[in-house]
Chain A
Amino acid sequence: SQELEQSPQSLIVQEGKNLTINCTSSKTLYGLYWYKQKYGEGLIFLMMLQKGGEEKSHEKITAKLDEKKQQSSLHITASQPSHAGIYLCGAVYGGAQKLVFGQGTRLTINP
C-alpha cells in the first residue's frame, strides 16, 4: 500500500482561481517536502515542513503540515500558467535517510 497518497491525481483550473492539493501519510512524518516537476524535467524544491502545525509560503504558494504530522496541503492563490506542472509531496520517516514520494498531482491551468 502507498505510504503517501496525493489528491487529486489531476486538477484543471481556470487561471486566477485558487486550488488545493493534499498529501496524506499512513505514518507520522519526520519531514514533509513539496517539489514541482515540469514534464520531462527535474524536481524543483518548493518547501519543507517539519513541525506539526507549521505553515510556509513562497510567493503565491502556501503549504501546511497538520498537528499530527500525517497530512499536508499545498494551496495556490490566484493561479497562473507558470504554476502548471506536477506537484509531488515527499516524506522522510524516522530512521531513514531516503525521501519517499507520492504519486504526484498534475496541475493544468487554463487561460
Chain B
Amino acid sequence: EPEVTQTPSHQVTQMGQEVILRCVPISNHLYFYWYRQILGQKVEFLVSFYNNEISEKSEIFDDQFSVERPDGSNFTLKIRSTKLEDSAMYFCASSSDSSRLFFGEGSRLTVL
C-alpha cells in the first residue's frame, strides 16, 4: 500500500528556533493535512491544504505556523519560533478525495 513519509522522525530544538517538518504525500493525492498529538492527548487537526492554498485551519494554527507545497511533491509545516508547548508528535496526512486520510508515521518534536 502507498505510504505517506515524514522527516525527521524526531527533532530536538531550542525554544525560539524555527523548525520545518517535511512530508511526502501519496503521489496522486490532492488533499493534505497536518495534525498534532501532544503526549497523552488526542490527535488534533491543525490545517488542511488543497489546490495550493489552505482550505481550513484550527485555532491552534496561528501566525507561528505556515504550510507550503514547494515543489509538487513535498508538503512542509514550518513553526517560526518554537515554544515549549509545541512539543508534540506531528502527523501529516493526504487523501485523494478528502474522505479516507492516509497518515504518516509522525515527526516527534521536542522543544527545550
Query: What residues make up the interface of A, taking CB atoms closer than 8 Å to B?
Result: 31, 33, 35, 37, 40-45, 48, 88, 90, 92, 96-104
Contact = CB atoms under 8 A, between A and B. Distances in A.
Contacts of A101: 42-45
Interface in B21-43: 31, 33, 41-43
Contacts of B100: 33, 45, 48
Contacts of B48: 97-98
Contacts of A41: 105-106
A42 B55 contact: no
Given A42-B103, A42-B105, 10 more contacts: A33-B100, A42-B91, A43-B103, A45-B103, A97-B48, A97-B98, A98-B33, A98-B45, A98-B48, A100-B45
B101 interface: yes
A45 B101 contact: yes
A48 B106 contact: no
Among A41, A42, A88, the one with the most B-chain Cβ atoms within 10 Å of its Cβ is A42
Interface string B50-69: 10000110100000000000
B42 A103 contact: yes
B42 A97 contact: no
Among A33, A43, A45, A96, the one with the most B-chain Cβ atoms within 10 Å of its Cβ is A43
A40 B37 CA distance: 10
A111 B2 CA distance: 33
Nearest to A47: B100
A99 B101 contact: yes
B106 A98 contact: no
A33 B98 CA distance: 12
A31 B106 contact: no
9 contacts: A31-B99, A37-B43, A40-B108, A41-B105, A45-B101, A48-B99, A48-B100, A92-B99, A99-B45
B42 A104 contact: yes
Given A42-B106, A102-B42, A96 B101 contact: no
